[in-house]
């Protein structure tokens, strides 16, 4: 059976996350229903990461096995047609080796989190950003706190108690913050990169760093929280609004390769 890689974008607010759940709208369920319009009795699709309820996708990657060989453009177009009216789009499609796996072949995941600071309610970006009621946050202090998180650590403090990962030890490669203008306020974007993440790790880090920016926590408290290895030492866990799976990295970019071929 030929295997296809799919690059997927979705607005997560209407979905109970990526993973299929009984009778609940999920991104995986919608994609499998669209695939079922093309071929019957297809195996389940697999994704690079299981985003939570409300989390968005800019560059999620999944793979599916088809019974016949499809033109990648035709398969992409057919899926986008059958995905309507869901806020899901297949951005790219590539024929890959049968042993290639969207999850296990990945070497890194990149997330971006959008935090908007202003007192007036957010309207146009409602559900797409997390809003802090502080008119401004100290981004330099937040960067200082973020620096303690880089490298390999036991992130017990910054993972959900429901996390199913076998080990709390992860290596955080990048935790950068950038400032952007936002109408009647300002926006801070968190750029987070690692090979893999714990459940709620990014949202826990962002929520704690917001406390640093607001002056409630000193930057050093991030290091103290990390060393505590205790969930109760974590700051508030921010909502999924504003969190995006931006990109999935592989040793060889299959989407670039198929264009070159």
Q: Is 261 a catalytic residue?
A: no
The pairing of beta strand 56-65 with beta strand 3-10: antiparallel
Compute how many other C-beta atoms are within 10 angstroms of the C-beta atom of residue 13: 15
End-to-end CA distance of the chain: 20
Q: Of 23, 41, 52, 125, which one is the catalytic site residue?
A: 52
Q: Which pair of structure tokens corresponds to residue 26?
A: 């999920």
Distance between CA atoms of 244 and 191, rounded to whole angstroms? 10
HEC letters along the chain = CCEEEEEEEECHHHCCCCCCECCECCHHHHHHHHHHCCCCCCCCCEECCCCCCCCEEEEEEEEEECCCCCCHHHHHHHHHHHHCCCCEEEEEEEEECCCCCCCCCEEEEEEEEEEEECCCCCCCCECCEEEECCCCCCHHHHHHHHHCCCEEEECHHHCCCCCCCCCCEEEEEEEEEEEEEECCEEEEEEEEEECCCCCCHHHHHHHHHHHHHCCCCCCHHHHHHHHHCCHHHCCCCCCCCCEEEEEEEECCCHHHHHHHC
Q: Which residues are part of the catalytic machinery? A: 52
């Amino acid at each position: 059976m030929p295997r296809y890689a799919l690059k997927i974008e979705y607005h997560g607010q209407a979905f109970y996350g990526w993973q299929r759940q009984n009778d609940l709208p999920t991104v995986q369920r919608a994609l499998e229903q669209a695939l079922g319009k093309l071929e019957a009795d297809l195996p389940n699709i697999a994704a690079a990461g299981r985003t939570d309820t409300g989390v968005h996708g800019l560059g999620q990657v999944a793979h599916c096995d088809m019974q016949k060989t499809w033109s990648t453009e035709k398969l992409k177009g057919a899926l986008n047609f059958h995905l309507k009216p869901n806020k899901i789009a297949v951005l790219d499609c590539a024929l890959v080796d049968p042993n290639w796996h969207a999850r296990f072949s990945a070497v890194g995941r990149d997330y971006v989190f959008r935090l908007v600071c202003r007192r007036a309610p957010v309207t146009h970006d409602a559900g797409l950003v997390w809003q802090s009621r502080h008119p401004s946050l100290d981004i330099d202090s937040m960067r200082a706190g973020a620096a303690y998180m880089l490298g390999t650590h036991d992130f017990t403090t910054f993972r959900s108690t429901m996390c199913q990962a076998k080990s709390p030890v992860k290596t955080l490669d990048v935790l950068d913050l950038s400032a952007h203008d936002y109408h009647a306020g300002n926006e801070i974007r968190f750029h987070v990169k690692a090979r893999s993440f714990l459940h709620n790790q990014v949202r826990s880090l962002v929520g704690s760093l917001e406390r640093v920016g607001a002056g409630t926590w000193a930057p050093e408290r991030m290091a103290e929280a990390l060393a505590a290895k205790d969930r109760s030492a974590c700051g508030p866990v921010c909502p999924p609004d504003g969190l995006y799976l931006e990109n999935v990295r592989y040793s060889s970019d299959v989407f670039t390769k198929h264009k070159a071929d």
